[in-house]
Amino acid sequence: MRARTRLAIGAISAVAAAGFLAGCGGAGSSGTQAPATGAQGAGCAPVAGNDFVVLDDDKKLQNSDNIIPAINSEAAQPQLVAALDKVSDSLDTPKLIGLNRAVGVERKTAKVAAEQFAAANNLTAGIPTGGTGSIVVGAANFSESQTLGELYRIALSAAGYQVRVQQIGNRELYEPALEKGDIQVVPEYAATMADFLNNKVNGKPGAASPPPISSPDLNQTVDGLKNVGGKVGLSFGKPSAAQTQNAFAVTREFADKHGVRTLSDLAAKCSGAATVLGGPPECPQRPKCQAGLTQVYNFNAGRFSSLDAGGSQTKSALRRGEISVGLVFSSDGELAR
């Protein structure tokens, strides 16, 4: 579904190809012991299966990476913001998973998937008209962003604007274009964008990054985002209920056998030698991946398997029963039920 740098498993950078990677480093590579976890008990060996269960992040390890429209402030007319907010109102995480499934699994184009979603959800109903002029919606170079860009196009067209969607690579490329007004709108991710802009506005060359302003609290994250965004000429619409963030999945057979539905369940029942955690190479060191699981949940895997960031390697390893739990992305189309 994506090439992300965006989910920042803990190191804030760009988003899924604009930014999300979770990571794991030299120690703890495939077939080795995970770094200093202090694993206790027998653990839970992998169980093969085709369907996945995403474990509930009940202690809020991940930050609030809700989808939110980022807008060049000079273009933020009331009709434009209202149209984009209508898209936010239409989205939640299950619907976003469905959109990603339509593109990534059913092989529809982003444009077709967005148009079918808009029709099924009455997206354009009640959008105020009167918008004038041309709007360029920027999209990052992964399919979820492109589909969201098409939804923005549909809503803004209904408001009266002349709209086109332009793919512009990762955040380091499209954010300056948004500031300059070369593009007027981009679908963004609240927590990742907040920390990206915080580093840009408040960071010092050669110094450590400033403390993150994102958090699991959406209101706090959006307040911080709007504060730093205002300093570079950016405004933001309403955040949607849909989130794209790191998540941890097991097979349904594993969940049923061991009685786990939350990350707290996993830590309580499956810390130990038999448990295998899979994810990208930097995961053991990242605060939103293995390091965070240990710190927040006291979850200790017996072994770490170095795979990829929520991609085909990790999902195949789950299905084949090679890992007990793997890092995925919460809006992955393959999680559709």
- Average pLDDT estimate for 108-127: 97
Nearest-angstrom CA–CA distance, 65 and 215:
9
Q: Does the pLDDT at position 183 exceed 60?
A: yes
pTM of the model: 0.84
- C-alpha to C-alpha distance for 39 and 23, rounded to whole angstroms: 20
Does position 30 have pLDDT exceeding 90, yes or no?
Answer: no
Least confident among 33-42, 55-64, 198-207, 293-302 = 33-42
Lowest average pLDDT, out of 13-22, 217-226, 254-263, goes to 13-22
- pLDDT for the residue 336: 66
Output the CA–CA distances (angstroms, integers) from residue 266 to 131, 256, 278, in the order listed: 51, 12, 14
Q: Does 9 score more than 80 pLDDT? A: no
Across the range 289-299, mean pLDDT stands at: 96
Q: Say if residue 93's pLDDT is above 60.
A: yes
Q: Which is more confident, 21 or 104? A: 104
Q: Which domains does the chain have, with CATH numbers?
A: 15-61+245-335 (3.40.190.120), 67-236 (3.10.105)
How far are the Cα atoms of 121, 126, 220, 293, 313 from residue 18, in angstroms, in the given order? Answer: 28, 32, 22, 24, 21
Q: What are 137's strand-pairing partners?
A: 165, 185
pLDDT attached to residue 187 = 98
Tell me, what's the pLDDT at 335?
82
8 falls in which pLDDT band (50, 70, 90)? very low
Overall average pLDDT of the 128-149 stretch? 95
Residues 79-92 have pLDDT tens digits of 999 999 999 999 99
Q: DSSP letter for 17, please.
A: T
Pairing mode, strands 246-251 and 325-329: antiparallel
Question: How far apart are the C-alpha atoms of 57 and 68, rounded to whole Å?
Answer: 21
Q: What is the pLDDT of residue 152?
A: 98
pLDDT recorded at residue 41: 79
**d(C-alpha 121, C-alpha 106), whole Å:** 19
Considering the chain, what is the average pLDDT of its residues?
89
Of 29-38, 112-121, 137-146, 328-337, give the range with the top mean pLDDT: 112-121
pLDDT band at 207 (very low <50, low <70, confident <90, very high): confident
